[in-house]
């Protein structure tokens, strides 16, 4: 099968390509320098030229709370342009199958936990990442509309929980929670610091899955595409507090200091836990423990530091 993959140089895209199942397919994964996904005509030409059997859309402008709060317009516009361009190009080229990767940011901030797919579109989004969530929601709806209008096209959306893993971003300006924690705790150990500060009280709960597990889920979705629901959560089905992520990172890294809390900083939603009943019915579950995932991610971070790339 020929697979057109967007975001191939990102954390998720690399994990998808590194997975053993990738060897069974011909993967076309243009980099951002090869193909600007915000350029509608260029995307349409590229998809038409390749004529893939399946498109996997994993590209996006991503970042943590700080980045989202600082640039909401860019997170909204860039992700809508990329998503719409890819989906409409696939439709125009008659690509029969498309697998779009959404985000748990698509869920209303006051939706009951665990977050069930039926809650999508039924409330206001979390203000700290509203632009990103709106864009992801719009692209998912476009996929559903295309499938409704075109009987020979099937475009579906997987909604992952929060992610971390190899090839993550460790720059504090743009990083998500787990890589930011890894860097902070590592630097505290290197500096001999006795404390590390946590934003908020640390009781907010988050569901972070190792990127290699998501890649495994994506390939399971490709294999079982016909039985995959139109929209499906993909995650752990359980969560940890922010404090627990810090504590586990400290254990893996070997730092024995204490944590303090800055109660003037935002912590976002108190909980973002996905309902994985549809995923369970589909027949897939993740395999990597938090300890193993952080250990593998930390080893990758140390390798980047050694090469001067982190």
Q: Which residues are catalytic?
A: 132
Rounded to whole angstroms, how far apart are CA atoms 231 and 279? 10
Rounded to whole angstroms, how far apart are CA atoms 160 and 57? 13
Rounded to whole angstroms, how far apart are CA atoms 216 and 224? 12
Place of tokens 């109660």: 263
Question: What are residue 186's phi and psi, to 5 degrees?
Answer: -60, -45
Tokens of 271: 């909980």
Q: Pairing relation of β-strands 162-164 and 205-206?
A: unpaired
């Amino acid at each position: 099968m020929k697979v057109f993959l967007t975001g191939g140089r990102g954390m998720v895209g690399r994990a998808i390509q590194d997975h053993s199942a990738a060897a069974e397919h011909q993967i076309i994964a243009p980099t951002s320098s090869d193909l600007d996904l915000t350029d509608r005509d260029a995307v349409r030409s590229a998809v038409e030229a390749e004529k893939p059997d399946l498109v996997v859309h994993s590209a996006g402008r991503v970042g943590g709370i700080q980045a989202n709060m600082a640039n909401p317009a860019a997170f909204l516009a860039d992700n809508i342009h990329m998503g719409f361009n890819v989906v409409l190009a696939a439709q125009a080229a008659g690509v029969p199958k498309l697998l779009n990767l959404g985000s748990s940011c698509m869920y209303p901030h006051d939706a009951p936990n665990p977050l069930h797919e039926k809650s999508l579109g039924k409330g206001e989004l979390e203000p700290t990442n509203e632009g990103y969530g709106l864009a992801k929601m719009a692209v998912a709806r476009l996929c559903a509309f295309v499938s409704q209008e075109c009987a020979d096209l099937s475009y579906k959306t997987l909604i992952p929980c929060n992610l971390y893993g190899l090839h993550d971003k460790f720059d504090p300006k743009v990083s998500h929670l787990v890589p930011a924690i890894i860097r902070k705790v590592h630097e505290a150990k290197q500096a001999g610091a006795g404390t590390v500060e946590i934003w908020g009280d640390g009781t907010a709960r988050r569901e972070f899955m190792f990127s290699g597990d998501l890649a495994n889920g994506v390939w399971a979705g490709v294999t079982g595409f016909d039985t995959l629901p139109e929209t499906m959560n993909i995650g752990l089905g359980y969560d940890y507090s922010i404090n627990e992520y810090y504590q586990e990172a400290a254990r893996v890294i070997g730092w024995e200091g204490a944590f303090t809390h800055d109660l003037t900083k935002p912590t976002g939603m108190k909980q973002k836990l996905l309902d994985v009943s549809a995923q369970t019915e589909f027949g897939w579950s993740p395999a990597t423990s938090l300890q193993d995932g952080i250990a593998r991610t930390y080893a990758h971070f140390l390798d980047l530091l050694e090469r001067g790339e982190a």
